Chain A
Amino acid sequence: MLEFKNVSVVKNGTALLKDINLSIETGKLTVFIGPNACGKTTLLQTLNGSSKVSKGSITLNGEDYLALPPKERAKKLSFLPQVHSVIPAIPVRTLVSHGRFPYLGFSRRSGDDDKHIVNEAMSKAGVDEYSGEGVDTLSGGVRQRAFIAMQLAQQSDFIIADEPTTYLDLPSKKMIVEIYSGLRDEGKTVVLVLHELSTALEIADRIVVMGDRKIVSTGTPEEIISSGIIESVFGATVKKFSDETGEYIVVM
């Protein structure tokens, strides 16, 4: 279990996170939703050290997560940030092999096991056919999957991604959501930040609603829908439809 206890982040006198108390259950798919600038990214950035925790603690399966060396953290928990700031001009295989960084020694030489894990990760993310192509030459969807393959090569039990579907077309979004849902089905703990509310409510086991740099509500999708919190935070209405093919959630 990943637990945030009274976590606050303050930068230059501004509170970026206010007293976060949250437990993320093992083996579940948790989705963070909330308007822009509500603190979702800052909260996840506390996990890779990009945002420094000013107060409070984070524990992973009872262990003080923030006290772990960075490489140990990266073995236990992989976090894929919003990756649009840098698009590396390197082959996909090289990018994916960077996922083995936490496991490599000083010489950074990878072994046969590492190569096998990289191949498996590329295959799982569906990018093995792009192995030799430059990441900067790929479409947005394939590029995102290449980064996901890098994340998979980290072989961590906790898998976290910040807006992995933003700016992508519908088929690409679907593929990426399927990859993360599949990981949950394999027993991994998955945490995603999504802006597509209907997708979030459909795939999540747990929803965390954030607003004004704090947790507004948590619960199962049903609990969140029935609580009316979507209406109050997003000003949107949630409708459920069903037909012979299944039940659908539409956010309007």
Chain B
Amino acid sequence: MKEKADKKILYITALLIILAVSFVVSLSFGSVKVSVGDVIGAFVSPSTSPVSTTIIRDVRFPRVLAGFLAGAGLSVAGVILQGVMNNALASPNTIGVGSGAGFFVMLSLALFPGKVWLQPVFAFAGALFATLSIFALAYFADTSRITIILAGITVSSFLSAGINLIKTLDTDIALNINSFLIGSLSGVSLKDITIPGIFIAAAAIIAIFLAGALNILGLGDDVAASLGMRVSSVRFLLMIVSSILAGSVVSFAGVLGFVGLIVPHICRRIFGNDAKILIPCSILLGGSFVMICDLLSRVLFSPYELPTGIIMSFIGGPFFMYLLIIKKGGRRLNA
């Protein structure tokens, strides 16, 4: 037992180091390379190199922080959804929360052109709408985990059809929305991420407090009810928390794929299914993963830049196939 605990401490330390290294490297590399010394100097004594300071503090830092928030938020949302549905294939995107946010953002662009500040509000409303639709659909059929997954797929395809409809009808939006639908952190400012960041931090803290309940839900509804849990209320609360996380991320990063699926799985393999450990570790690994993917998107074809979502899908796609073939849906994964 002690050996296992030591191993976990070792892995968590490794995750913290990976996060720190990803953070510094992401700030350092890009179209203009900035030395690690200048990166640190930009925060400690900004007067040393004004150009580097501007690049680091005004351009890269908001973007790297956005990457961390996006990865952390989507990964925690993934842990929650996989636990709530007891299904390895659940994630904000596979059950339609991403499509919901995407569709609503497109609606805001179509109905209120030029009002950019509305996008985060609509993204959150869309994520919530998708969650509530899934929940309502499952409630009227039955609240089994399989039904919720099927309801999610149904809602997702319905909302994707809505996205395609707007793209077809409004070619201006179609031109501007591409990187949003793929997921990109290009041009993100501190202003863009302040409010979503607060939401993500608050929802992640709530998720940590609800980790014990998530573990109990993983035993099945009947057992959870017998242990004194209000199953429907807790499931609903957890889904709301996951939609706050996913909706907040979509508001500044667009529809980033796969991070909410693969990071929880990697963490499960290393740390087991205890949500009390899974959630903090998913924050660390998810944050690092998106930061690194975003760095690759900036430097691989420099000076051209790819949307972050493309790099993530290139990594996430094969992993998803692995899950389908090797794990056959991974029904036993739970918290």
Contact = CB atoms under 8 A, between A and B. Distances in A.
Nearest to B225: A48
A85 B334 CA distance: 12
Contact of B219 (A70, A88, A107, A131): A88
Nearest to A95: B219
A219 interface: no
Contacts of B41: none
A81 B332 contact: no
Given A87-B332, A89-B334, A80 B226 contact: yes
Contacts of A91: 272
Interface bin, chain A:
35 or more
A85 B220 contact: yes
A81 B222 CA distance: 6
Given A88-B219, A107-B209, A101 B225 contact: no
Interface stretch (B65-73, B109-117, B121-129, B227-235): B227-235
Interface string A55-96: 000000000000001111111001111110111111100110
Given A89-B332, A104-B212, A132-B1, A45 B222 contact: yes
A70 B209 contact: no
B228 A98 contact: no
Contacts, number: 87
B212 A78 contact: no
Given A83-B220, A98-B219, A108-B212, A90 B226 contact: no
A70 B228 contact: yes
A154 interface: yes
A50 interface: yes
Contacts of B216: 98, 101
A246 interface: no
A99 B209 contact: no
A130 to B, nearest CB: 13
B4 interface: yes
A45 B223 CA distance: 10
B220 to A, nearest CB: 4
Interface in B182-226: 209, 211-213, 215-216, 218-223, 225-226
A84 to B, nearest CB: 9
Contacts of A108: 209, 211-213, 276
B218 A88 contact: yes
Contacts of B276: 108
Contact of A74 (B209, B228, B273, B332): B228
Interface string B162-184: 00000000000000000000000
A140 interface: no
B141 to A, nearest CB: 12
Contacts of B230: 70
B226 A79 contact: yes
B86 interface: yes
A241 interface: no
B305 interface: no
Contacts of B223: 80-81, 83, 86, 147
Interface of B: 1, 4, 86, 209, 211-213, 215-216, 218-223, 225-230, 272-274, 276, 332-334
The 9 nearest A-B residue pairs measured at CB:
A74-B228, A108-B212, A86-B220, A71-B228, A81-B222, A102-B228, A48-B225, A48-B226, A70-B228
Given A73-B228, A95-B219, A98-B219, 4 more contacts: A86-B218, A89-B333, A108-B276, A136-B332
